Structure 1
Amino acid sequence: MSSSLHISAFLTDSWYSLGRRSWLAWTCDAIDFFSVSLSVPSLGKTFNKKNPDITTAITLTLLLRSAGAVIFGFISDRYGRKWPLVFNLVLVAILELGAGFVQTFKQFLAVRSLFGIGMGGIWGLAASTALENLPVEARGIASGVLQQGYAVGYLFAACINLKLVPDASPNLDGEGWRSLFWCAAGISFFAAIVRAVIPESEVFLKARAEARARERASGLTTKNKTKIFMKETGRMLKKHWRLCIYAVLLMTGFNFLSHGSQDLFPTYMQDTKGFDSNHATIATIIGNCGAIAGGTIAGWGSQYIGRRLTIIICVLLVGAFIPLWILPNTFSGLAAGAFCIQFGVQGAWGVIPIQLAEMSPPAFRATFPGVAYQVGNMVSSASAQIEATGGEHQRTTLIDRITGKPKDAPDYAKVQGILIGVVAAYILIVTILGPENHGKHFEKYKAAFEEGAGNDEEMDEDAIREGIRRRGEEDSSSSGEGKGEKD
């Protein structure tokens, strides 16, 4: 009954906060990122490049996301969640806008590389803001809803690509893909404005207030909090280095699973299966509907059967649906395969925000999950290029749907099927061998800029109460003295 009440409270009271602060930011992140995935053939025509060359932009973006995770994660754990995320969103909006104006392929690669740095900070800041402000019982479903902002973003980008890009193409000399980037930039600017008018994370404000109370209680001051923060970071790394390595290994597999099944899918539908851009986009939309359903259901279910078991079930579903994803030649069969495979892929992903948050050293729950996620992204950054290059070497015969004549085509179906099958097996092993801290109250621990945070020390409630009491006495005394002087 208690669990149901907490989830009901989440759905009624906290959804508005979660959606505006975190879900929207993560959705914008996906729209910006998948603008390239949806435009690979068009970009190839504009810059006169082959698919493996265009996917270099995806690789560079993923490579540099870890730098953004470190930079913005540290700033967030040190100074707060709000303004780092606002700046982060403005930065990616500017770079996304710039990508729509580039004239050469080198310029495009440069802008997308810088975009990776800005993009890298968003997930850690969004996840920490969302999950730390919710009751433990609601964090499973919140994790699923938050993570599927990524699928919703991909879906939005696909819808924009389906309608806006063809309409804008005649006015842009056949380069309608630029309108997709400009539209994505505007949405990110909007998300930055929304985040700017919403208050700071309540849990972070409480931790900062309690730190000040503790300082008053002990008679000490911590003017140089940045120095303390760096010292506690060193302690955390010394204590949790094995956990850091494990988290990177886990996220490497997960990022291969996600990007290997998503980034080249529209190109696969066109080049290997022979469908036009509209059909490829519609199949992408259907796949993302499966992702949204899978992530939300799995996140909710993980609250009851555990994080690791939920991941294992979803990854087994991925393996079971690989044949449906790559073997059919009809649109309905391929669309069904896209729905099912993404249900499993993003179902497993729906557990990741809360799994990483509960696994993290509690004082560093913006930095640790974000960096682990993006370092995993860095290791798996070449997934689209691997598939594109594999398609250049693995060939198949395609019957042209217009002329009815056979033609040589890249066999992305075989390449994707092998990659996802191997990755799914890897994730099963890593997940089974890993830790789980289901239901951890990470909001009760010291903030990263406090002494002892690196050793996972909990807040000292007695010291806080004593500090508040002393502060009250000081205020009363000062008020009395002022009144006496006036009299």
Structure 2
Amino acid sequence: MEHGDKANWFRRMTAPEKRTFIAAFGGWALDALDFMVFTFVISTLIGLFKIDRAQAGLLATITLLFSAIGGWLAGMLADRFGRVRVLQLTILWFAVCTLLIGFAQSFWQVFLLRALQGLGFGGEWAVGSVLMGEIVRTEYRGRAVGTVQSGWAVGWAVAAILYTVLFSALPENYAWRALFWVGVLPALLVLFIRKRVPEPELFRRTRAQEEASAARVSPWAIFSPALIKTTVLGALLCTGLQGGYYAVTTWLPTFLKSERHLSVIGTGGYLLVIILGSFIGYLAGAYLTDRLGRRANLIIFALLCGACIFAYTRLPLSNEQMLFLGFPLGFAASGIFSGVGAYLTELFPSAVRANGQGFAYNFGRGIGALFPSLVGYLAKTAPLGVAIGIFAGGAYLVVLIATLLLPETKGREIS
């Protein structure tokens, strides 16, 4: 009976838990849609605005850097004004900025809007993850928060489909704009959240206690002696996760094309295999984080990521083998993220939970955003495969070290 209960966890969730799950899943999927459309129109923007690859890369980096700022800021605001209210704000901000990119007339206009877009992008995950973690009960928390991460693969797949449809039906100079105009869709999710998603009881109780005692918790409390170890190790964990992911996903296609001369990398089939692997990896990680524990899940996926990096950069692979290896790459590189949301939620106390989680995850994103540039810099004096291996492999080693130094939180009742 117990196994059946766990297998049907979504059906057994309460109505507020289900509505919160739907809102968080939809928000993350739509964020992925809005964020990933940029990856499909890079070549179009290079030609349209007469920019070089370095400038195009800057458009990607600026969003990630500002998302680090936005995630921490949104976390602090969510601890002060509420998870639901700030989640609505971040979704609206992200949606409007994405829509406006479709009207941009120059590189610098896109640059500015991509920076502003990043503020909302970072905030949505930080606040939505905390909201999920506080509303969903302990025994389902890992699976629920982890499964929300699979929404990224769904949004990525929808972006790929829309790209194919719009660039087939419209001239290129209009199609790229239409892709960003679709970015207004997340705004509709706010209507659902306003009516159906409650503020967590735990947050309301914590705020009432603060108001009754007239003692407001400082946003700098995450650096107090009681929490500094958790904050630093959490930030290192997230730096490893995201630095490894960005180093691999940014440079691996270039490595396989330029040094291995494999043509399959540029095909839609290869992309779909990676997306499918990512989706299943998210679901597997969500299950394992509750089944085996937060630390064991992270260790397993970090080792899988290291194995995939070794296979891609060291083994002589054919086009056919590369196509099939896209699945374990997507599985490992994406699945490792499933357990981190619930883990961070359980590591921080309620009064600074969104603040601490927002800082740790988005500090990792900000530093991780530099990894592609570091790989490129090292690749000037070393083979690209070696550069990828050093930074991506090193990143997942950091994940292992941070995980071993952090406590296990499986089954922990949050307060």
| TM-score strictly above 0.5 | yes
- CA displacement at 1:328 relative to structure 2: 6.1
Pairwise CA RMSD of aligned residues? Answer: 2.9
Contact 2:62 2:118 in 1 (8 A): yes
CA distance in 2, matches of 1:17, 1:432: 35
Inter-partner Cα distance in structure 2 for 1:87 and 1:229: 23
Following the alignment from structure 2 to structure 1, what is the Cα–Cα distance between the partners of residues 404 and 39? 32
1:188-207, aligned counterparts within 5 Å?
188-204=186-202, 207=205
Residue from 135, 158, 179 that aligns with 1:133: 135
Q: Would you say the 8 A contact 1:70–1:367 is kept in 2?
A: yes
32, 45, 50: which one pairs with 2:34?
32
Contact 2:379 2:387 in 1 (8 A): yes
Distance 1:181 1:328 in 2: 39
Consecutive unaligned residues in structure 1, runs of 5 or more: 396-410, 446-487
Q: Which residue of 1 aligns with 2:10?
A: 10
Is the contact made by 1:51 and 1:388 (CA closer than 8 Å) also made in structure 2? no
Secondary structure, aligned partner of 2:407: coil
Which of the residues 275, 297, 304 maps onto 2:291?
304
- Cα distance, 1:237 vs structure 2: 3.2
Q: Distance in 2 between matches of 1:69 and 1:423?
A: 21
Relative to structure 1, the CA distance from residue 394 to residue 237 in structure 2 (aligned partners, 3 Å threshold; closer, same or farther) is closer
**Percentage of pairs with the same residue:** 24
- The amino acid across from 2:142 in the alignment is G
The equivalent residue for 1:260 is: 247
User: How far 1:290 sits from its partner (Å)?
Assistant: 0.8
Shift, 1:253, TM fit = 0.8
Deviation at 1:343, TM superposition (A): 0.9
Counterpart for residue 407 of structure 2: 435
Q: Please, which moves more after superposition, 102-111 or 262-271?
A: 262-271
Query: Partner of 2:336: helix, strand, or coil?
Result: helix
> Post-superposition shift, 1:295?
1.8
Aligned partner of 2:151 among 146, 149, 155: 149
Residue 133 of structure 1 aligns with an amino acid whose one-letter code is I
Cα 1:277–1:329 change in 2 (3 A) is closer
Question: Distance between the aligned counterparts of 1:102 and 1:264, measured in 2?
Answer: 28
The size of the alignment, in residue pairs, is 410
In the other structure, the counterpart of 1:360 is 348
**In structure 1, distance between residues paired with 2:12 and 2:158:** 25
**Gap change, CA 1:414 and 1:237, over 3 Å in 2:** closer
SS of residue matched to 2:339? helix
Task: Tell me: CA distance 1:277–1:320, structure 2 relative to 1, closer, same or farther (3 Å).
Answer: closer
Structure 1 residues 74-127: Cα deviation after superposition (integer angstroms, max 9, x where no partner)? 222222222211121111111111112212111111111111111111011111
> Residue 119 of structure 1 corresponds to which residue in structure 2?
121
Shift of 1:9: 4.3
The AA in structure 2 aligned to 1:368 is G
Inter-CA distance 206–104: structure 2 relative to 1 (3 Å threshold): closer
1:148 partner letter? S
- What residue is the counterpart of 1:338 in the other structure? 326
Name the CA distance, whole Å, in 2 between partners of 1:140 and 1:298: 9
Q: How far off its partner does 1:255 sit? A: 0.9
Alpha-carbon shift at residue 49 of structure 1 (Å): 2.4
1:163 aligned onto 2:131: no
Question: Larger Rg: 1 or 2?
Answer: 1
CA contact (8 A) 2:142 2:290 kept: yes
Structure 1 letter corresponding to 2:365: N
SS of alignment partner, residue 73 of structure 1: helix
For residues 4 and 71 of structure 2, what CA distance do their matches in structure 1 show?
Answer: 34
Q: CA deviation at 1:54?
A: 0.7
Give the direction of change, closer, same or farther, for the CA distance of 1:132–1:189 in structure 2 (3 Å limit): same
For the structure 1 residues 205 and 424, does the alpha-carbon distance in structure 2 shift closer, same or farther, using more than 3 Å as the test?
A: closer
Q: Corresponding residue for 2:175?
A: 176
The equivalent residue for 2:234 is 247
Query: Which residues of structure 2 form unaligned runs of 5+?
Result: none
Is 1:285 equivalent to 2:267 in the alignment? no
| Secondary structure of the structure 1 residue equivalent to 2:369 | coil
Preserved contact between residue 80 and residue 204 of structure 1 (Cα < 8 Å): no
Pair 372,334 (structure 1): closer, same or farther in 2 beyond 3 Å? same
CA offsets 1:338-371 (integer angstroms, 9 cap, x no match): 2111211222211111111111233322221122
SS at match of 1:103: coil
AA in 2 matched with 1:189: A
